[in-house]
A and B are shown apart, each in its own frame.
Chain A
Amino acid sequence: MAGSSKRRARHLVFLPYVAFLAIFLGWPGLYVFRSAFAKGTAERSPMIEAVTGQFRGSFVFSLQLSFISASIGAVIGALVAVAVVRLDTVRGLRSTVVGYSAVAANMGGIPLAFAFLAAFGMQGLATRLLREINVDIIGWGFRISDFWGIVLVYLYFQIPLMTLVLVPALDGLRRTWAEAAQSLGASSAQYWRLVALPILTPALLGGFLLLVANAFAAYATAFALSSGGSRLVPVQIRFFLQGDTITGKTNLGYALAAWMVIITALLVTGFQLLMRRAERWRR
């Protein structure tokens, strides 16, 4: 029987946790936003300057990289998920693939960059092997440190992330729905178009958004690959705040960070809402 004082005492229990989050997540976040809106000696608010001025190109570059790696990663990741569910009867295959996906999706930036340099760099093993069959990717202008090189590296963790999102969603596709559609006269194509794809859409879309957020926030891999990577927003923030800080303009760095938080927040919220919809249908 909790009286109001007991209830208050009970809620006090969460104080350490809330305080922890407030101090180490909330306060830094607040600081970023406060600095991002502080004009200082500049004419315009740093938030506006960040997306219209010299950094506009960085945002465009970052978003392009994120969307493209997310698109390709989503498609391939979906195919892998479909393949794994199709081969459900093969013992151990699903747990191996899902298990390895969990590792690859969280693969730290530095070793990953190393691995791709070793494979697809100018002196890379794969580069060399491809040359043996007369495919000269270097001659085509492919550089691991440029846009498409980074996309390739990002795919390494984008694909498994999509697989991890989609496999449970595919599991949720009940066999009875396929059979019901058949009994009602639907062909295989009609089933996919009218039933399976609509049911999977929230997971597909949500997964895609998650991949975009994932790529957008990535820092270490791009940093380790340098040159091309340095045009990405996360890396620019670092150069900005650790290099020579032009007085009155430091807040621009914070504005970049604030925009990153806003964009990521929108994407992650979208992902959560879509996954909740997908969950509801699985009941």
Chain B
Amino acid sequence: MNRNIEFRDVAKSFGSVKALVDFAIRVDEGELVTLLGPSGCGKSTALRVAAGFEVCDSGDVLIGGTSVVALPASKRGIGMVFQNYSLFPHLTVHENLEFGMKVRKMSRSQRTARVGELLDLVRLAGLAERYPHQISGGQQQRVALARALAIEPQVLLLDEPLSALDATVRVEVREEIRRIQRTSGIATVFVTHDQEEALAISDRICVMCDGQVEQIATPHVVYRSPATPFVARFVGKVNDLAVEITASSRVRLRGHAFEFSVPQSQVQSGEARLLIRPEDIRVTSSAGGEGLQGRVDGLQFGGATTSLDVAIAGTNHVVRVSDSTRAMQFGIGDVVSLVFDMERALLTRE
């Protein structure tokens, strides 16, 4: 039996708002796939349709190869973790964990044994008799995860489980989640709007916008080869410059004489935007000569890496460039030269 989940052309509207349009993806056993996008993109809706809390207008959801759209949420074999208020406040951690097992009428000894296993899995042994309001937010979410896994579901669904936590706790808990997911090997769908989170823990990322899938690929591919301008802008940082296309492979920065040559004609002539990541621009101190001239206007020291804001002479374009600190020995006011790696740039109309 394959423990996986598959969405087939799922569509869902709320009134006139199209929350999901032709949503399709398969998450296999052992995989952690993240649904990533801004609020309103449909990621939570997709999760809730999978869980059974929303009914889709058309399409199908299969868990373990069987269609579940006709089944109520209680019979789908899913485990779910919510953003907050997951745990039952009137029950201890132990009682929360055994809730699913109690419903399935497992014996007390079986339940207790399993609770012990689960607490060890999430490394919270010793908190069994505490109440949810007596433990921290991060601990609550780990217990919620353990509780979802208690009944050995086929699929794990996580709806922004880290969004309500403090920044430092967030990193800890997300690594815990990844570790536990790898250990148990369960197919997992993770929903978040935080692209850094998605890049850090996913096997694959499904980037969504306005109910549509923009790209499904590994984090590396999503970052380095964004399929659409939306993905390029949403994931990681990107420079967004106004340009003009003068000839089939020449692009000119608006308000400036400098021209780039583009590998192939991605867009027809006219106005366009050039998207390029800070790390794909090389900075040298040679004034004059090749490259775009500019002056360092701002500097952000980030420990291992440093970013510069470079103002292009004669325009109001400001380009952000980043590299290892060792390579960025510049100060504010320095005149520098920028070389764009156009293989890594994206030209787009919008």
User: Which residues B88-145 have CB closer than 8 A to chain A?
Assistant: 88-90, 99-100, 102-104, 133, 144
| 4 smallest beta-carbon distances between A and B, as pairs | A184-B100, A281-B89, A183-B80, A182-B73
A-B contact pairs, 21 of them (CB 8 A): A174-B85, A177-B85, A180-B80, A180-B82, A180-B147, A182-B52, A182-B74, A183-B51, A184-B74, A184-B100, A184-B150, A185-B75, A185-B103, A186-B74, A194-B103, A198-B90, A199-B88, A199-B90, A280-B89, A280-B133, A281-B89
A185-B74, A185-B75 as given contacts; A179 in contact with B99, CB under 8 Å: no
Q: Given A179-B51, A179-B73, A185 and B104 touching (CB < 8 A)?
A: yes
* B86 within 8 Å of A (CB atoms): yes
User: What chain B residues lie within 8 Å of A181 (beta carbons)?
Assistant: 88, 99
Interface centre among A180, A181, A282 (most CB of B within 10 A): A180
**Which residues of A sit under 8 angstroms from B150, Cβ to Cβ?**
184
Q: At the interface, yes or no: B151 with Cβ under 8 Å from chain A?
A: yes
Within 8 A of B (CB), among A190-240: 190, 194-195, 198-199
Q: How far is the CA of A128 from the CA of B74 in the complex (A)?
A: 53
A68→B53 CA distance, assembly (Å): 41
> Which partner residue on chain B sits nearest A187 by CB separation?
B74
- Are the CB atoms of B53 and A179 closer together than 8 Å? yes
B72 interface residue per 8 A CB criterion: yes
Interface residues of A (CB under 8 A from B): 174, 176-177, 179-187, 190, 194-195, 198-199, 280-283
Is A180 in contact with B86, judged by CB distance below 8 angstroms? yes
| Known pairs A185-B75, A281-B90 / 18 extra A-B pairs, C-beta < 8 Å | A176-B85, A176-B86, A179-B73, A180-B82, A180-B87, A181-B88, A182-B74, A183-B74, A183-B80, A183-B148, A184-B74, A184-B148, A185-B74, A185-B151, A186-B103, A199-B90, A282-B89, A283-B89
Candidates A176, A186, A198, A280; contact of B82 at CB < 8 Å = A176
Give CA–CA (A187, B104) in the complex, Å: 11
Report the separation of the CA atoms of residues A195 and B87 in the bound assembly, to the nearest whole angstrom.
11
Q: Which chain B residues have a beta carbon within 8 Å of chain A's beta carbons?
A: 51-53, 72-75, 78-80, 82-90, 99-100, 102-104, 133, 144, 147-148, 150-151, 157
B99 to chain A, nearest CB (A): 6
Q: Which residues of A contact B88 (CB under 8 A)?
A: 177, 180-181, 195, 199
Contact check, A179 vs B80: say whether CB atoms are below 8 A apart. yes
Q: Which residues of B contact A186 (CB under 8 A)?
A: 74, 99, 103
- Is B85 within 8 A of A183, CB to CB? no
Q: Which residues of A contact B73 (CB under 8 A)?
A: 179, 182-183
A280 vs B73: C-alpha distance when bound (angstroms): 29
Cα(A181)–Cα(B151), bound, Å: 12
Is the Cβ of A194 less than 8 Å from the Cβ of B79? no
Contacts of A194 in B (CB 8 A): 99, 102-103
**B80:A185 contact, CB within 8 angstroms:** no
Residues of A within 8 A of B82 (CB): 176, 179-180
- Nearest chain B CB to A275's CB is how many angstroms away? 15
B100 cross-chain contacts in A, Cβ below 8 A: 184-185
A33–B336 Cα gap in the complex (Å)? 90
Q: How far is the CB of B155 from chain A (nearest CB, A)?
A: 11
Is B85 within 8 A of A184, CB to CB? no
> Are B84 and A176 in contact, with the CB atoms below 8 A?
yes
Q: A280-B133, A281-B89 are in contact. Are A184 and B84 (CB under 8 A)?
A: no
- Which residues of B sit under 8 angstroms from A187, Cβ to Cβ? 74
Least CB separation from B82: chain A residue: A176
Residues of chain A within 8 A (CB-CB) of B133 are 280-281, 283
In the complex, which residues of chain B have a beta carbon less than 8 angstroms from the beta carbon of A180? 80, 82, 86-88, 144, 147
Q: Is the CB of B89 within 8 A of A199?
A: yes
In the assembled complex, the CB of B72 is this many whole angstroms from the nearest CB of chain A, namely 7
Which B residues lie within 8 Å of A195 (CB)?
88, 90
Contact of B78 among A183, A190, A199, A281 (CB under 8 A): A183
Which residues on the B side are within 8 Å of A185 (C-beta)? 74-75, 100, 103-104, 151
Establish whether residues B72 and A184, one from each chain, have CB atoms under 8 Å apart when the complex forms: no
Minimal beta-carbon separation of A245 from chain B (angstroms):
53
Q: For residue A179, which residues in chain B have a CB less than 8 angstroms away from its CB?
A: 51, 53, 73, 80, 82
CA distance A199 to B85 in the complex (A): 13
Contacts of B79 in A (CB 8 A): 183
Q: Are B51 and A184 in contact (CB under 8 A)?
A: no
Q: Please name all residues of chain A whose beta carbon is closer than 8 Å to the beta carbon of B84 when the two chains form the complex.
A: 176
CB-nearest residue of chain A relative to B99?
A184
* Interchain CA distance A180-B147 in the complex, whole Å: 10
B183 to chain A, nearest CB (A): 21
> When chains A and B are docked, how far (Å) is the Cα of A198 from the Cα of B99?
14
B74 CB to closest chain A CB, in angstroms?
5
Greatest chain A CB density within 10 A among B53, B75, B89, B144 is at B89
Nearest B residue (CB) for A283: B133
CB distance from A86 to the nearest CB of B (A): 18
Which A residues lie within 8 Å of B53 (CB)? 179, 182
Complex contacts, A174 vs chain B, CB 8 Å: 85
Q: How far is the CA of A194 from the CA of B102 in the complex (A)?
A: 10
* Minimal beta-carbon separation of B47 from chain A (angstroms): 11
- Return chain B residues, CB-CB under 8 Å to A281: 89-90, 133
